[in-house]
Chains A and B, each alone.
Chain A
Amino acid sequence: MSVCAGVPLPKPCVLKRMEDSSKEDYKIHSFDMETQKLLKTALKDPGSVDLEKVSSVIVDQSLKDQMFSKEAGRICFTIVQAESKQNGGSVFRRNLLNRLQQEFKAREETRKRSTQEWVCLVSFICNIFDYLKVNNMPMMALVHPVYDCLFRLAQPDALKNEEEVDCLVLQLHRIGEQLEKMNLQRMDELFCLLRDGFLLQDGLSSLGRLLLLEILEFRAGSWTLSETAQKYYYSEVTD
């Protein structure tokens, strides 16, 4: 019979695919009207706005707004492209990355201060890694920082928080395969931590364990779930 007899396990919905979004939807509704206007202008005519301010505004919001932190990569990429096309410049990208680097450096304090902000930061960095390709390749400069963030999330104190585990598996779903290509060794190490965590970690919630098991299977299946695993994790328990 069903493996999970007894208490039905909660099913994670870690992958929220935004397939419904139109190409123009950059999810900027959470900004105030003036800022929305600034962003829209930046998309059309980057040379006419203060790009440092634009990057600053985007980073600030990403740290506060969970939804935006997962999607901000797209608007950033579009602005980068627009600026490059308009005048060959890369002011926005440079400012964005350097600001991101600052936040990255301060991540431990951020984590202490607010788990939510920390999780937003990780989501944002990973989203940037996903979208901001350079000559169709991921930015080398971000590979180690992204891994650093994921390793931090795989530490015992982080695994205890569902919020952090959820963030971890979300990132691995989205960019795990790319990351692995850039650096296989670190991915192997990361997954050793995840296996250990799954097996040995006290204080892991059942949801936390479920999330970890799913990601272990996901990677073992070359970054995809078998049909049966998909059914197991993502369909309703009809027991």
Chain B
Amino acid sequence: MSDPRRYRQEESCAAEENRNKGSSRWSQCRKRGADGVVRGSQKEAELTNNTDRKGNRPHRPNSFTTPESEGPVSRIRDWGDEVEFDEMRTNVRRDMQRYRRRILAGEFTQRERKTSSGSSDSKDSRDSPAPGEFETDESVLMRRQKQINYGKNTLAYDRYIKEVPKHLRQPGVHPRTPNKFKKYSRRSWDQQIKLWKVKLHAWDPPTEEGNDLQAADQIDLGEIMDLDFDMEASVDELQYPKTSSSVSSSLPQDSCTGTPSKMMKMDETEIA
């Protein structure tokens, strides 16, 4: 007799799920499988396409939106999923309260280098949003939070935060969690997430296989078109074997030249 609540998560969640379930090298660095079980890197060899997932209960989104439906279609949930969803929602709401307070307290001034300590996703001190001009739509925030959680639920992220404490992070060099409260277009946000996760891979645990980038082909960087590239030869270059020359702004659609080794600055205006 549960309420048929409408969860306004969008179909990208499902798509993202599938991406995250892939048996590519990237999925090997997920700290937890879709069933929530923490996995060690030895198990990676056993994982094949989705055979593991079907056996264990996959973590599926609560609802999805198809182009045909007018709105979110709720999936029959089990209690486990429902509670996780509620927990995420209360977390997002709490984050929003905090963020609102911090904006009103005028914490976000134009400080170039200094970052405040703490461990929230929204510690972005650049480009302060004016009060009242941040994202408040709960469904958007939930979807973004879920995407952030996927990125943080990786061995790479764990290693990254252990290795680089926040106050030592250099903008441009170290990946920075996108701020879910700032206003971005859907496309812009999705790309930020993608790039952030790609950059996090620099901290992937070393694998047994010699070739680090065997799965690099699976990344579709074709969407990344109108970005400005800073010409910083950063940590990234040292991590990746030089399979590619500099990444230009007009990437070929089909092929991938390896994970980007140049810093990319996100243009926050509408990306075509």
Q: Which residues of A contact B (CB under 8 A)?
A: 47, 87-91, 93-95, 97-98, 100-101, 134-135, 137, 139-142, 144-145, 147-148
CB <8 Å contact, B80 and A95: yes
A177 to chain B, nearest CB (A): 20
Residue in B31, B79, B90 whose beta carbon sits within 8 Å of that of A98 in the complex: B79
A23 to chain B, nearest CB (A): 25
* Cα(A142)–Cα(B3), bound, Å: 11
Q: Using CB atoms, name the residue of chain B closest to A186.
A: B1
B266 to chain A, nearest CB (A): 27
Q: Which of B32-40, B160-168, B192-200, B208-216 contacts A (4 or more CB under 8 A)?
A: B32-40
CB <8 Å contact, B79 and A91: no
CB <8 Å contact, A101 and B78: yes
Across-interface contacts of A140 in B (CB, < 8 A): 82-83, 86
Across-interface contacts of B57 in A (CB, < 8 A): 94, 98
Residue in A90, A100, A139, A141 whose beta carbon sits within 8 Å of that of B36 in the complex: A90
Across-interface contacts of A141 in B (CB, < 8 A): 2, 79, 82-83, 86
CB <8 Å contact, B38 and A93: no
Q: Using CB atoms, name the residue of chain A closest to B32.
A: A89
| In the complex, B74 has a CB within 8 A of chain A | no
Across-interface contacts of B6 in A (CB, < 8 A): none
CB <8 Å contact, A139 and B32: no
Residue in B2, B38, B86, B87 whose beta carbon sits within 8 Å of that of A144 in the complex: B2
Q: Using CB atoms, name the residue of chain A closest to B77.
A: A141
A-B contacts besides A91-B37, A95-B80, A148-B1, 13 pairs, CB < 8 Å: A89-B37, A94-B57, A94-B83, A97-B80, A98-B57, A100-B79, A139-B79, A140-B82, A140-B83, A140-B86, A141-B79, A141-B86, A145-B2
CB <8 Å contact, A88 and B153: yes
Cβ contacts A to B, 19 pairs, < 8 Å:
A87-B32, A87-B38, A89-B32, A89-B36, A90-B36, A91-B35, A93-B83, A94-B36, A98-B57, A98-B80, A100-B79, A134-B87, A139-B79, A139-B82, A139-B83, A140-B86, A141-B86, A145-B1, A147-B1
Q: Using CB atoms, name the residue of chain B closest to A101.
A: B79
Residue in B32, B37, B83, B153 whose beta carbon sits within 8 Å of that of A97 in the complex: B83
* Cα(A47)–Cα(B91), bound, Å: 23
Across-interface contacts of A97 in B (CB, < 8 A): 78-80, 83
Interface centre among B2, B80, B82, B153 (most CB of A within 10 A): B80
Across-interface contacts of A91 in B (CB, < 8 A): 35-38
CB <8 Å contact, A144 and B80: no
CB-CB nearest 3 A-B residue pairs = A94-B80, A141-B82, A97-B79
Residue in A89, A94, A134 whose beta carbon sits within 8 Å of that of B90 in the complex: A134
CB <8 Å contact, B3 and A144: yes
* Cα(A98)–Cα(B60), bound, Å: 14
* Cα(A87)–Cα(B37), bound, Å: 10
How many A-B residue pairs have C-beta atoms within 8 angstroms? Tell me.
Answer: 66
* Cα(A35)–Cα(B105), bound, Å: 52
CB <8 Å contact, A135 and B94: yes
Which B residues from 1 to 36 make CB contacts under 8 A with A?
A: 1-3, 31-32, 35-36
Q: Using CB atoms, name the residue of chain A closest to B5.
A: A140
Contact A134-B38, Cβ < 8 Å, known A144-B3, A148-B1: no
* Cα(A190)–Cα(B101), bound, Å: 41
A107 to chain B, nearest CB (A): 12
* Cα(A101)–Cα(B79), bound, Å: 7
CB <8 Å contact, A135 and B91: yes
Q: Using CB atoms, name the residue of chain A closest to B36.
A: A91
* Cα(A89)–Cα(B59), bound, Å: 13
Across-interface contacts of A148 in B (CB, < 8 A): 1
| In the complex, B46 has a CB within 8 A of chain A | no
* Cα(A89)–Cα(B31), bound, Å: 10
CB <8 Å contact, B38 and A142: no
* Cα(A141)–Cα(B31), bound, Å: 27
* Cα(A148)–Cα(B79), bound, Å: 15
Across-interface contacts of B90 in A (CB, < 8 A): 134-135, 137
* Cα(A97)–Cα(B84), bound, Å: 11
* Cα(A88)–Cα(B26), bound, Å: 20
A154 to chain B, nearest CB (A): 15
Across-interface contacts of A139 in B (CB, < 8 A): 79, 82-83, 86
Across-interface contacts of B36 in A (CB, < 8 A): 89-91, 94
Q: Using CB atoms, name the residue of chain B closest to A138.
A: B86
CB <8 Å contact, A134 and B83: yes
* Cα(A100)–Cα(B83), bound, Å: 13
Q: Using CB atoms, name the residue of chain B closest to A100.
A: B79
CB <8 Å contact, B32 and A142: no
Across-interface contacts of A134 in B (CB, < 8 A): 83, 86-87, 90
